[in-house]
Amino acid sequence: MVSEAKVSVNQDSSRAQAMKLPTPVRWPESAVSFLLIGGQDNFRGRLSVEDYVAETRSHVPLANKTTAILFVQEMTHMPQQPLLRGVLRLMLKAIASWKVEGKLPLEQFRNILAFLRQEQCSYECPGETFRVVVLLAASLQQL
């Protein structure tokens, strides 16, 4: 689990440029959201893993209890096909369950982690392993 960290002030200029939007982004307080972010993503810039996840999490309103963030260290901006093929279906099941049942989809989260543990052995890239962090924006204590 990644601990909370303050966001680094020295952000990569290309990352800052990419995130410049004409208006502030308003995150929904009640929508079920599931973000998949990668450690090799261009948006990470020079931030540490902890700072990158904390910066991502900082955009989620404190009142929002229905946002999950899945961080995969080895994932690039565009997820590798076997990773996306396997995890997307499981993420959609988690979102649907969360929306219908109104509670954390812990079983679906466990299924995602099990898939990632299984996949780290079947990728063709030798030595590739997954460093996975599942965060719930406002519900970390419940995991």
The token duo for 78 is: 């565009």
Note the maximum CA span of the chain. 43
Give the chain's radius of gyration (CA, Å): 15
Examine the pLDDT at 1 and tell me if it is beyond 50.
no
DSSP 78-99: S--HHHHHHHHHHHHHHHHHHH
Q: Which long-range contacts (CB under 8 A, 24 or more apart) does 83-89 make?
A: 83/119, 86/115, 86/119, 87/36, 87/112, 87/115, 87/116
Structural domain spans, the chain: 13-142
pLDDT 10s digits, 34-66: 888 887 777 788 888 888 888 888 888 888 888
What's the mean pLDDT when you consider all of the chain? 69
- Quickly state the pLDDT bin for 101 (edges 50, 70, 90): very high
Highest mean pLDDT among 20-34, 85-99, 127-141: 85-99
